[in-house]
Amino acid sequence: MYTDLQGQTVVITGAATGLGQAMALRFGQEQAHVVINYYGDDQDVEPLIKEIEACGGQAIGVQGDVSKEADVKKLVQAAHEHFGSLDVMINNAGIENEVPSEDLSLADWKRVIDVNLTGAFLGCREAVDYMLEHEIKGRIINISSVHEIIPWPHFLHYAASKGGVKMMTETLALEFAPKRIRVNSIAPGAINTPINAVKFADSKLRAGVEALVPLGYIGKPEEIAAAAVWLASSESSYVTGITLFADGGMTKYPSFQGGRG
């Protein structure tokens, strides 16, 4: 546990499922106040809110599309109105779809960039603006991907969006370090969440992904949540502008494992 997170207010985008949901629960276990942003009408976050409350945390759900400026402003307002602060902003919402680049439509390109990069930008900007106004030494965590550095054919828009998130994190970290606002990214590798549901349901495809992970297994959402609470806590007080790769070693040239190559 990180006792300094108790009573702090955390906004997490796209938190009805997957990594966002795991992070929301972990911050709840840290007895933080969590604003759970969800996107779809069919996403019921009430059970998650109850689970967080059972751990001694507090939570509210706020529907919104991170690619819309007004919706992101609404998230920060909700944090302020319900919990009186915004200490940690986690830009997690993200989408992907597989298309050979010669067939990638402008509509698909824009949709992925709008959610993954523009959505994270809006979250960063609104959070920084609030933190400056209220003199909060806040923390911003962007959920990037190993594909901020690993090229990914057929996912051009996704890789470009995450590469953009990397440079946004580093630039904002530099710009707001004098105000003691820390900005970092987490780059997950292959984690068992709905974004990978189809891929991991196929045992051959799953084994193919596992072969890319030196630690030899698909990561659990809780392993990303553990990285997030550390980056949000004062235990990481001297850390800003980094990407924390939580990827089982995927970015360490797994084809060289065992001395081959």
Structural contact between residues 26 and 33, judged by C-beta atoms closer than 8 angstroms = no
Subset of residues 38 to 57 that bind ligand NAD, contact rule: CB under 6 A: 39-40
Compute how many residues bind ligand NAD; rule: CB under 6 A: 27
If one asks whether residue 165 binds ligand NAD (CB under 6 A), the answer comes out as: no
If one asks whether residue 136 binds ligand NAD (CB under 6 A), the answer comes out as: no
If one asks whether residue 18 binds ligand NAD (CB under 6 A), the answer comes out as: yes
**Catalytic-residue membership of 253:** no
Among residues 84, 194, 208, 216, the one that binds ligand NAD under rule CB under 6 A: 194
Among residues 93, 140, 156, 227, the one that binds ligand NAD under rule CB under 6 A: 93
DSSP secondary structure code for residue 171 in this structure? H
Q: Which is nearer to ligand NAD, 31 or 37 (CB)?
A: 37
**Residue 142, phi-psi category: left (phi > 0), alpha (psi -120 to 50), beta (remainder):** beta
Residues 237 and 12: their CA atoms lie apart, in Å, by 20
Among residues 8, 118, 193, 233, the one that binds ligand NAD under rule CB under 6 A: 193
Among residues 12, 19, 36, 52, the one that binds ligand NAD under rule CB under 6 A: 19
Residue with tokens 């319900």: 82
Among residues 5, 9, 12, 14, the one that binds ligand NAD under rule CB under 6 A: 14
Among residues 77, 179, 196, 199, the one that binds ligand NAD under rule CB under 6 A: 196
Q: How far is the CB of 212 from ligand NAD (least distance, A)?
A: 12
Instruction: Annotate 211-237 with DSSP letters as a single string.
Output: TT-TT-SPBPHHHHHHHHHHHHSGGGT
Please say whether the dihedral angle defined by the alpha carbons of residues 252, 253, 257 and 261, taken in this order, is positive or negative. Answer: negative
If one asks whether residue 240 binds ligand NAD (CB under 6 A), the answer comes out as: no
Structural contact between residues 139 and 181, judged by C-beta atoms closer than 8 angstroms = yes
- The active-site residue, picked from 38, 39, 130, 158, is 158
Main-chain phi, psi angles of 255, to 5 degrees: -65, -15
Structural contact between residues 207 and 216, judged by C-beta atoms closer than 8 angstroms = no
Residues 63-82 as x/- pattern, contact with ligand NAD by CB under 6 A: --xxx---------------
If one asks whether residue 243 binds ligand NAD (CB under 6 A), the answer comes out as: no
Structural contact between residues 173 and 241, judged by C-beta atoms closer than 8 angstroms = yes
Residues 151 and 214: their CA atoms lie apart, in Å, by 18
If one asks whether residue 25 binds ligand NAD (CB under 6 A), the answer comes out as: no
Q: Which is nearer to ligand NAD, 5 or 16 (CB)?
A: 16
Residue with tokens 């997030």: 228
Q: How far is the CB of 180 from ligand NAD (least distance, A)?
A: 26
Angle at 224 between CA 46 and CA 161, to 5 degrees: 95
Give residue 12's identity as a one-letter amino acid code: I
The closest alpha carbon to 111, from 122, 97, 123, 99, belongs to 97
Catalytic annotation, residues: 158
Residues that bind ligand NAD (CB under 6 A): 13-14, 16-20, 37, 39-40, 65-67, 92-95, 115, 143, 145, 188, 190-191, 193-196
